[in-house]
Amino acid sequence: MAEKEVLLTPEGLRKLEEELEQLKSVKRREVAERIKLAISYGDISENSEYEDAKNEQAFIEGRIMTLEKMLRNARIIHESEVDTGMVSIGSTVVLKDIEFDEQVEYTIVGSAEADPGSNKISNESPVGRALLGKSIGSTVDVAVPAGTIQFKILEIHR
């Protein structure tokens, strides 16, 4: 089965590489020390410190594998590839919520670097999917659990 391409901005790539480096160089060592310390307490069959450290080790190793796979399958979306004539991955879009007459700004990113708290939404999210390929002045309807939201695209920039 072909592995899914992971779309990243240069900033997203840098963050994933930094996280991977942190896990490999710092977290692995810290957890190994915790395991060594827990073993020194003696019987590991009823040793909660040992269990916790082993669970954390499994989580870290799983995250390392996930990050390595994502980086292997990464396609970087450079700013020069972002067309300001229509919404694409890497675009920053200023929208007007028609119902509430409010403006909101989102940057469309790949799902690996989505962070709604920072207004970075995935191209696979309902809003991101609805915006892709649209141009300034377009009105889009986005189906959400509470009904439908209408946005008008006011600006598209890099």
For the chain, the structural domain boundaries read 6-76, 81-157
- Give the residue among 89, 95, 132 at the shortest CA–CA distance from 112: 89
For the chain, percent of residues with pLDDT exceeding 70: 99
The correct answer on CATH 1.10.287.180 for the domain covering 6-76 is yes
In terms of average pLDDT, the best of 24-28, 81-85, 87-91, 97-101 is: 24-28
The answer, yes or no, to whether residue 55 has pLDDT greater than 90, is yes
pLDDT for residue 2: 62
Q: Decide: 129 and 108 in contact? Cβ < 8 Å.
A: no
Q: How wide is the angle at C-alpha 67 spanned by C-alphas 5 and 88, nearest 5°?
A: 35
CB-CB neighbours of 76 under 10 Å: 14
CA–CA distance, 61 with 72 (Å, rounded to integer): 16
Q: What is the CATH number assigned to the segment(s) 81-157?
A: 3.10.50.30
